[in-house]
């Protein structure tokens, strides 16, 4: 299966580089992250195209067959086009349909100065600080379950760092990590941002823009990157920040989810 979506293509490149497995079934891909089963967009289906009318429930059933112990359903489609009938059928099967925006930039505008130290995550303490920072964004999820998920994501990301594919940058205020963004090479000349996170008490201070800019400059200046890729909620606040930095809309990315139990509010992309 040839993946046309820039969003999913860069997703898959980073997942495979960090240890995930991709099985090509012709009509769809089955993506697995055995070390982190709670990583919803590390354990998902990617369909080449929408199913035939009436086949939506079969796709959901096939997901449960492949992931019998999963407390979620995550299905992507390698096209942003979905008929109203297909959307309604997936929603009737319990999934939330989301069309995110994929943005690209070849250069970045400098953000305003911030009162923080902006630098790459280096030490064990730096990386460990990222897990509770992420946890602050999803307080409804139990601490034990979330920290296990977040630490496993750190392990995967650090493999990318060790392979020389990129870095995760953080903004530190009084020595505490309060905002962070990662960027990693996916193919020659292309790098994808990962998980821009800012502590709720430190928002609207320019910190997210600062870490995105620092990570992007690292990719452009040090990694031979010509195109930066970032994905944002189409109706979210972050997309305006990215556009102000110089990102422009490139395509839409179609994702559908059903999350159970304490993970219902988690956005792990």
Put simply, whether the predicted model's pTM sits higher than 0.85 gets the answer yes
* CA nearest to 111, candidates 200, 243, 219: 243
159 within 8 A of 168, measured Cβ to Cβ: no
Cα atoms in the Cβ-side hemisphere of radius 13 Å centred on 55? 8
The H or E element containing residue 119 is strand 117-120
* DSSP assignment letter at 50: P
**Centroid of chain to Cα 106:** 20
pLDDT number for residue 263 = 54
130 within 8 A of 152, measured Cβ to Cβ: no
pLDDT number for residue 149 = 86
152 within 8 A of 165, measured Cβ to Cβ: no
Q: Bin 28: left if φ > 0, else alpha if -120 < ψ < 50, else beta.
A: beta
137 within 8 A of 265, measured Cβ to Cβ: no
Where the chain has pLDDT below 70, the residues are 261-269
Count of H-run helices and E-run strands, the chain: 7, 11
pLDDT number for residue 134 = 86
pLDDT number for residue 266 = 47
């Amino acid at each position: 299966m040839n993946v046309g979506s820039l969003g999913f293509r860069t997703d898959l490149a980073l997942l495979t580089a960090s240890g995930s497995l991709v099985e090509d079934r012709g009509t769809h891909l089955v993506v697995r992250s055995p070390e982190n089963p709670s990583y919803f967009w590390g354990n998902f289906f990617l369909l080449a195209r929408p199913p035939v009318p009436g086949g939506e429930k079969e796709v959901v059933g096939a997901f449960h067959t492949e992931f019998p112990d999963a407390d979620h359903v995550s299905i992507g489609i390698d096209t942003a086009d979905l008929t109203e009938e297909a959307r309604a059928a997936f929603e009737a099967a319990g999934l939330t349909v989301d069309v995110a925006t994929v943005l690209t930039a070849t250069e970045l505008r400098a953000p305003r100065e911030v009162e923080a130290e902006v630098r790459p995550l280096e030490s064990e303490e730096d990386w460990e600080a990222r897990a509770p920072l992420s946890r602050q964004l999803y307080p409804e999820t139990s601490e034990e379950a979330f920290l296990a998920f977040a630490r496993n994501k750190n392990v995967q990301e650090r493999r990318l760092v060790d392979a020389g594919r990129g870095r995760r940058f953080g903004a530190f205020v009084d020595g505490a990590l309060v905002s962070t963004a990662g960027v990693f090479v996916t193919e020659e000349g292309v790098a994808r941002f990962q998980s821009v996170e800012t502590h709720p008490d430190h928002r609207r201070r320019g910190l997210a823009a600062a870490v995105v800019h620092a990570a992007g400059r690292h990719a452009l200046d040090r990694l031979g990157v010509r195109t930066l890729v970032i994905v944002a909620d189409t109706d979210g606040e972050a997309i305006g920040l990215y556009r102000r930095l110089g990102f422009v809309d490139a395509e839409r990315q179609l994702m559908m989810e059903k999350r159970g139990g304490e993970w219902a509010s988690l956005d792990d992309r």
